[in-house]
Every structure is written in structure tokens, then in C-alpha cells.
Amino acid sequence: MLHCSKPSGPPRHLALVSYRANKRGKNRAVPESLSIIIVEQDKDRAEAIVDSILETGAHEIRVLSEPTGLARFVAEFDPDIVLVDVANPSRDTLEELALASSPLDRPVAMFVDRSDDSLTKAAIDAGVSAYVVDGLRADRIKPVMDAAIARFHVFQRMRTELEATKRALEERKIIDRAKGIVMRNRGIGEDEAYALIRKTAMDQGKKLVDVAQALVTAAELLS
Amino acid sequence: MRTVSLNVGFMPLVDAAPLVIARELGFAEEEGLDLSLQGAPSWSTLRDRLALGQIEAAHMLSPVPIAMALGLGGMATRFDALCVLSINGNVIGVSREMAQDLKANGARLDFLDATTTGQALSSLNKDIRIGVPFPFSMHAELLYYWLDSIGLPSPQGLDVRTIPPPLMSQAIAAGEIDAFCVGEPWGSIAVENGHGELILPGQSIWQFAPEKVLAVRHDWAEAEQDLTGRLMRAVWKAGRWLGDPTKLSTIAEVLSWPEYLGVSAEIIERALSGQMVISQRGETRRVPRMIGFFEGAASFPWKSQAAWIGNRMATRFGLDRVQAAKAASDVFRSDLYRKHLASTGAEMPGASQKVEGAISVPTPVASKAGTLILQPDRFFNGAIFDSSQTS
């Protein structure tokens, strides 16, 4: 059988932060509260997720920032839900836990709730995967998942925006260089050079940046 | 033929080559397909993307669709394995500390001999933590098969852990594991980084192990028969091209591109050529059939290969072995292979099952064209597996 090593105290190298929604004793005793582990390396992102989820209830949340020792950590803290970025390679380690439990352990961790495909799909689309203890009622999972999904959508939008901005900057740099080449070679002004590149692109049915790139490449080859 | 776009997922490994080559060398285009290849961060994410319909097909560990058919692990969607993408391709390596222990213990390791290497590990009399890429993988199956058969002094001292292939080298450097079984190029990367030494290729445990398959949703293969056929033909033609030994450097070059493996072509070429560098001292070993894409009807999805995997998993997880072997066989679609590749000239064996482990030298067998030569498929311990006798 596959098994993970026996828990022997929290591994030393784990960077671990605990969040409690309230200070009154152990939250596990309160039926509405869930014990949740979030695997996230970026501190700001982790805090944003924690904030979103705490709005849904007085949950006990732990953030794990180092993926090493994940299986041991989860076995140790025995959470109701583990949330991990779909893009995190360490996710595969959690798959092992579905097999690790003996019949005497708490029921195995499962990928979201099998009965709710749309929730699973929404989660994967947003970029978060969840492992949930088998048997946990869907109405208890849903608010947490909804909050996590909404938060991950925000992250995704930010990532897309960042990439778009980066690309736009790159393109502007290339276009500026191409303009410079045209200005030098034809002795014309900046606006005129830009208009010429734009016209060429339109005539050839190409993107402005592609024509600019071709110019820059050609100039490099000829210099 | 109207060109259709297909989203296909892969993990960054040498054995993703049939998909990469199908796209880059135009075999997909010939079939009117525009393959959009999407790298995945982990096997579970790749499986989920396929199950949830974000991609149409995936490069998949051969045991994953079988595990799903047996109800093991998350996600219960039914997948079909349309063909085998690659044979063999894994290596087993140890940390430098364990390599030193083996030497101090007087072990004389023959890189191709699973018996002596296994006994050397066993006689260390130590608990061993081994990393594999996924709980359901040929890596895990080969390891358990090998070490069960060798007999460890304390089987409970074997601790098998899941570590994604690109992180294997790091895990051994961090002392999280003592050994690993991983697909290339990640074993060679561990050698290159000076973190590990290779001790055994996977093919020394089973000479003809179906490593990766082309997986699709069962419902998709049923509903999109035309596309299924086109995809299978494109991948089969890529496999045939990959079987040409003069193409090695081109394959390595294309795979090294950042959108695929992002690893130097020289390291990728080691597995393709079978010239493995096993330690940082630069010792090399020649491994026959280190990885295979074409020879010996490599892509044919033998029902008996699936049954072997199903039988092994059933034994490990306490399931009914006869039922498991049957359910597993249904996943490997040799029927679709025969149907959709009939026009390509692919070698079609006369039967869809063989006795696994029975072939020790290249052997001609009955096929439609009469020219199929099956390659050796022995298990290291000489066992045979006859799926018609499973009970």
C-alpha cells in the first residue's frame, strides 16, 4: 500500500501561518466552522484568500507556503478542506492522500464534491482545486468554495492584465525602435515614420508590431 | 477537409514527443487538425482538464485511465486509451549519499541488471523513501513489482511519495527522498545537477512497458469518431517518424523549445539515443529500448498490457483481480486502433492480447501484412502474465 510517513510533529521547515476567526476556544467544536488548509506561496494572495473565506464563517485556516512536506502536513492537521492553486505542481501530492487513509482514519480526501460537477468545473476554470473530506455536506462546502472561486477569478484577471501590460510595453519598445530606423534611413519625422509603418502593415494585412519587428530584425542583420 | 482545432494537454517529458512532432512536423495538419498543445503543471490537473472538457485529448500515464475505471482516486469520468504513446523511458536513481552507501556496502552494480541492483538496495537494510510522479503510474507499478519480487527486509520500510517530475531533482537535493523513479529528462537532470546517480532503467524491470497513452473521454471518442480517427492517424504518423534513428537530433531540438520541455537538447538526446550518463563523473551506459515510439507495434494498445496494470492495482488496493483485469482491458481500445488506423499501413497483430513477459528475442508474429516483429517484453524475474488465465 502507498502510505505517507507517520506524522511526528510539524516538520520544522514548514512556513506556517494560522488564522483564527475568533478567540473563543477551538473552532472545530462549532458546527459551522471548518478547518481549512490553503497552499499558497505568495503571502498577499494567501491573505486575500483567507479574508474572503473568513467572510463566509468562523473557520480555522492554515496557510502553507512551502510545498515540501505537504502530505505530512495535511495528514497531521487533518483538515476538512485543502485549497491549492491548479497551477501548483505539488497538487499531485494531494492525490496520494486519497489513498493514504486506513479504514480507521477520517474518510479520504476527495476532489471537491463528486455530486456537484458544476462547482468542480467552476473551481478548475478559476484556477483553484479543492480536496474535501468525503462526506462533508455540499451546503457546508459551497460558501467556502464560492468565496475561493471568486478570489481566484480576481487573481486570474490580475495575471491577464499584467501580461497584457507587459506585452504592450514590449510592443511599444519594438515600434519605437522601428520608428527610429525609418527616421534615420529616410530622414523623416517621427509622426511620418509611424504613419509609414502603419500604412505598410495595413497594406500587407499584418499587425503593426509584426512589421516593426521585421524592420528591427532586418536592420540588425544589415548592420 | 475543414481544419479543426483540438486542445491537447501534455506534461513536459520526452515521451510527449508524438504529440509535439504531430504538430511541429505537420502530421496533424495533414489530417486537418490544428493541435493546440498545452503544458500542464501536474498530472492531476491534466486529468481534471480532460475530464471537465477543457481539453479534448491528453498525454497520460497509462495507469491513470485504468485507475479511474477501477474507481480509484478522484474523478470518475471514463477515459479511453486510444493508443500507446511510448514504451519505457523511466529511470531509477538514488541520492549521492545512497550511492555511496551502496558502494561502501560492496555492491557491484550492473546498470541493466534489476536483480543485483535490487538485492544491493535490499541489503542496505535501510528504510527507503522513493519519489514517483503520481500514485497511479508505471513508475509506481514497476517499483512495487521489482521490490516485492526482490523481497525487502522490511516492506513497511518502503515509503513511496508523490513528487512532480520537474521537482524530483530538487526533492532529492533537499533530502526529502533517497531514491526516485522518473521519466526522462528528469532523471538526467538530477545527474546533471549533481544531486543523484542513476542505477537502473525502467526497461530492466519490464522490457516493454506501456508508459504513456493518448487519452480522451470515452464519450468524446464515441461522439467524434471522425476527429478521433484523424487524431490517432496524426499521432501514429508522428510515431513512425520518431522511429527513424536519423531524426534524433531534430527530435531533441524541437522538444527542447521553451514551450515544450525547456531543457537542453543534449540532455533530451540521452534517452532518445539510449546513451545514458549515470553519474556526474560522466560514466555512460548504453540502454537498449530506453524509450520506444514505433518499433514492434509500440503504439498498439494490447488488452493484456492493460490487464497487467489492472491486476497489479487490484492486488495492491484489495480489489477483485478478475473484474479489475476485465475493466482495465476495456480501457485500452485496440478495436478503435484497428478501425481508425486501417488506412495507414500500421502493423495490426492478429490478436489483441499476448502473454506478457513471454518474448525474449525479437519474434515475428502473425499480422495483417505478415511482417510484424514483436520486441522482447520480459519481466526481470522471468515471470509471465497470461491475462486469459487471471483468476
- CATH number, domain of A171, equals 1.10.10.10
pLDDT at A37: 86
pLDDT at B305: 97
3 state SS of A116: coil
For B127-186, the pLDDT digits (tens) are 899 999 999 999 999 999 999 999 877 667 788 989 989 889 999 999 999 999 999 999
Which amino acid is present at B300?
F
Distance CA A43, CA B77 (A): 35
Q: With contacts defined as CB-CB under 8 Å, which chain A residues touch B163?
A: 92-93
Read off the pTM: 0.82
Percent with pLDDT over 70 in chain B = 99
Q: How many domains, in total, are found in chain A? A: 2
For residue A7, is it within any domain?
no
Grid cell digits, residue B8 = 491537447
Rg (CA), chain A: 26
Question: Is residue B142 located within the same domain as residue B54?
Answer: no
Question: Is residue B204 located within the same domain as residue B56?
Answer: no
Q: Which residues contact B253 (CB under 8 A, 6 or more apart)?
A: B265
Grid cell digits, residue A29 = 467544536
How many of the other CB atoms lie within 10 Å of CB of B223? 10
Question: Is residue B152 located within the same domain as residue B239?
Answer: no
The residue whose grid cell reads 515614420 is A193
For residue B108, is it within any domain?
yes
Which amino acid is present at B213?
V
Label residue B210 by pLDDT band (50, 70, 90).
very high
Interface test with B, best of A1, A68, A92, A97 (most B CBs within 10 A): A92
Task: Give contacts of B 171-190 with A, CB under 8 A.
Answer: 171, 174, 176
- CATH number, domain of B128, equals 3.40.190.10
Kindly determine whether residue A69 and residue B140, on different chains, have CB atoms separated by under 8 Å. Answer: no
Q: How many domains, in total, are found in chain B? A: 2
For residue A130, is it within any domain?
yes
Report residue B288: phi and psi, to 5°.
-70, 145
Question: Is residue B218 located within the same domain as residue B302?
Answer: yes
CA-based nearest residue to B334, from B378, B296, B297, B359: B297
pLDDT at A125: 77
Question: Is residue A94 located within the same domain as residue A187?
Answer: no
Say if residues B27 and B234 touch (Cβ distance below 8 Å). Answer: yes
Distance CA B302, CA B295 (A): 15
Question: Is residue B31 located within the same domain as residue B164?
Answer: no
Q: With contacts defined as CB-CB under 8 Å, which chain B residues touch A115?
A: none
pLDDT at A99: 63
Kindly determine whether residue A71 and residue B42, on different chains, have CB atoms separated by under 8 Å. Answer: no
Question: Is residue A62 located within the same domain as residue A152?
Answer: yes
Distance CA B6, CA B12 (A): 19
Distance CA B248, CA B266 (A): 10
For residue A4, is it within any domain?
no
The residue whose grid cell reads 482491458 is B329
Question: Is residue A130 located within the same domain as residue A203?
Answer: no
**Among A105-109, B41-45, B329-333, whose mean pLDDT is lowest?**
A105-109
For residue B375, is it within any domain?
no
Question: Is residue A100 located within the same domain as residue A181?
Answer: no
Interface test with B, best of A95, A99, A102, A108 (most B CBs within 10 A): A95
pLDDT at B173: 93
Question: Is residue B143 located within the same domain as residue B276?
Answer: yes
The B210-217 sheet, strands edge to edge: B33-39, B4-10, B57-61, B210-217, B79-88, B291-292
Cα end-to-end distance, chain B, whole Å: 48
Distance CA B80, CA B332 (A): 6
State which residues of chain A have pLDDT below 70.
1-32, 67-68, 97-117, 134-136, 138
Question: Is residue A129 located within the same domain as residue A202?
Answer: no
For residue B358, is it within any domain?
no
DSSP character for A13?
A: T
For residue B279, is it within any domain?
yes
Kindly determine whether residue B42 and residue A89, on different chains, have CB atoms separated by under 8 Å. Answer: yes
Question: Is residue B170 located within the same domain as residue B106?
Answer: yes
For residue B354, is it within any domain?
no
The residue whose grid cell reads 510484424 is B372
Range(s) of the domain holding residue B106: 90-208+264-292
Question: Is residue A210 located within the same domain as residue A118?
Answer: no
Question: Is residue A138 located within the same domain as residue A29?
Answer: yes
- CATH number, domain of A99, equals 3.40.190
Element (H, E) at B238: helix B225-242
Distance CA B58, CA B215 (A): 5
For residue B356, is it within any domain?
no
Q: Which of A112, A138, A160 marks a domain boundary?
A: A160
pLDDT exceeds 80 at position B1: no
Question: Is residue A37 located within the same domain as residue A120?
Answer: yes
The residue whose grid cell reads 471548518 is A34
Say if residues B252 and B275 touch (Cβ distance below 8 Å). Answer: no
For B280-308, the pLDDT digits (tens) are 999 999 999 999 999 999 999 999 999 99
Residues in A lying within 8 Å of B, measured between beta carbons: 1-5, 68-69, 71, 86-96, 98-99, 110-111, 114, 117, 120-121, 124-125, 129
pLDDT at B22: 96
Task: Note whether B160 contacts A: Cβ–Cβ < 8 A.
Answer: yes
For residue B388, is it within any domain?
no
Question: Is residue A190 located within the same domain as residue A81?
Answer: no
Element (H, E) at B84: strand B79-88
Question: Is residue B220 located within the same domain as residue B329?
Answer: yes
Question: Is residue A127 located within the same domain as residue A22?
Answer: yes
Question: Is residue A43 located within the same domain as residue A130?
Answer: yes
Distance CA A24, CA B8 (A): 50
Give A24: exposed, middle or buried? Use CB within 10 Å, 0-12, 13-18, 19+.
Answer: exposed
3 state SS of B331: helix
Say if residues A208 and A201 touch (Cβ distance below 8 Å). Answer: yes
pLDDT exceeds 70 at position B382: yes
Question: Is residue A182 located within the same domain as residue A91?
Answer: no
Question: Is residue B135 located within the same domain as residue B162?
Answer: yes
Grid cell digits, residue B374 = 514483436
Kindly determine whether residue B74 and residue A111, on different chains, have CB atoms separated by under 8 Å. Answer: yes
For residue B357, is it within any domain?
no
pLDDT at A64: 86
Phi-psi region of A69 (alpha: psi -120 to 50; beta: other; left: phi over 0): left
Q: Which of A160, A180, A203 marks a domain boundary?
A: A160
Tell me the helices (H) and strands (E) count for chain B, helix number first.
Answer: 16, 15
How far is residue B18 CA from its own chain's centroid? 13
Distance CA B313, CA B326 (A): 13
Kindly determine whether residue B161 and residue A114, on different chains, have CB atoms separated by under 8 Å. Answer: no
Question: Is residue B64 located within the same domain as residue B148?
Answer: no
Task: Note whether B71 contacts A: Cβ–Cβ < 8 A.
Answer: no
Mean pLDDT along residues B54-66: 97
How many of the other CB atoms lie within 10 Å of CB of A67? 20
Question: Is residue B237 located within the same domain as residue B315?
Answer: yes
Torsion angle of C-alpha atoms B323, B325, B328, B330, degrees rounded to 10: -80
CA-based nearest residue to B45, from A83, A95, A160, A157: A95
Mean pLDDT along residues B311-323: 92
For residue A117, is it within any domain?
yes
For residue A2, is it within any domain?
no
How many angstroms away from the CA of A113 is the closest CA of chain B? 10
How many angstroms away from the CA of A69 is the closest CA of chain B? 8
pLDDT at A6: 34
For residue A81, is it within any domain?
yes
Q: Which of A160, A180, A200 marks a domain boundary?
A: A160
pLDDT at A30: 47
For residue A198, give Cα distances in angstroms to A90, A181, A192, B152.
47, 14, 10, 72
Question: Is residue B249 located within the same domain as residue B301?
Answer: yes
For residue A43, is it within any domain?
yes
Please state whether the peptide bond connecting residue B185 to the residue before it is cis, i.e. omega within 30 degrees of 0. yes
Range(s) of the domain holding residue A192: 161-222
How many of the other CB atoms lie within 10 Å of CB of A193? 20
Interface test with B, best of A2, A117, A125 (most B CBs within 10 A): A2
Q: Is the dihedral of CA A168, A169, A172, A178 positive or negative?
A: negative
Say if residues B266 and B252 touch (Cβ distance below 8 Å). Answer: yes
Label residue B208 by pLDDT band (50, 70, 90).
very high
CA-based nearest residue to A37, from A3, A69, A5, A84: A84
